[in-house]
Structure 1
Amino acid sequence: MAAFGSIGSVMAAEPAALARVVDDPGLVDRLSAARAAVMEGLSEQVQQLRFDLGQLALQQWIIALFKGLRRERIHLALLDSDRRLICDEPLGDGGLRGVTGNLRRIVGRGIGVDAAAVVLMHNHPSGNVRPSAADIAETRRIGFLLGNLDLPLEDHLVVAGNAIFSMRGANLL
């Protein structure tokens, strides 16, 4: 725990990071399996809910997606017409500009599952939950393009630590 700072960070750590500080490969495997089980349980809960940030289970799931990451990650969630989660997946690591290269993937996945809306999420490992000017500009560009394809951008969430910033909630979309 000393290497990660908290039990939550240990559970969120990538297997390679755990293996660098834990001498027992079996323990690394068990911790990774426990994380996967917890994430699956949270995902099952979230699929029963409307995508509404007022829902504690949704907040916990979103924060858990990014917990312990030391690099930015961009994540996609696709919603049905009742605003329930159809599916989700990481789009890539790195800065927000990486989303641009994945716009075709967002559209393809959205159309492939007959999604009614898109939610983008990314983390700020710096701890600052406020979106940058580049985050806002890129989000507006993506929102405009998706809107023209009848696949609206429902929200873009920025996660830092245990905080979630909604660009929709801040009227930035």
Structure 2
Amino acid sequence: MNKVYLSLGTNMGEREQNLQLAVQLLKEKPHVTVKTISSIYETAPVGYVDQPAFLNIALEIETSHPAMDMLKICQSVENELGRVREIRWGPRIIDLDILLYNNDNIETEQLIVPHPRMFERAFVLVPLLEMANGFQTPQVERAKSSLESMDLAGEGITKWKTLNSVEEFLREE
């Protein structure tokens, strides 16, 4: 089984519901098991800042799918929820990114793992490290080190809701 960590974010419409729908769609995919979910964090936009705040979570997934198939699954969930790419780093109904895939380093035209900007973004690292504390890899250690060097007060990230389990999160609908 492959251990995959994903980052999910949304800042359009019913943000929490968008996250719930994305998690539910992932759970329904064959050979994908959503194991753990982080708390929900509200974060200020990065890059293109003239947009609403985001809600972000991280997920731990176990799957028999290879990395490129997981990318296609993530993109299919985005498409099912109506993701449109108009402005780089702009508003979005949902965004799914593969952060880590086992301890692999992957670099293709379509996919780079670890995610190329994850070590620069508190909105990715905080939920990931909340959830991945038992996963010891050089990539996770680098994430911890990156987060320790950040000024979290200036990063615009706050815990929005504590989540205890995937099942509890999906029952809230």
* TM-score, shorter chain, exceeding 0.5: no
| TM norm structure 1 | 0.32
Which protein has the bigger strand share?
Answer: 2
* Greater relative contact order (Cα < 8 A, sep 6+): 2
Structure index of larger Rg: 1
Q: Which is helix-richer, 1 or 2?
A: 1
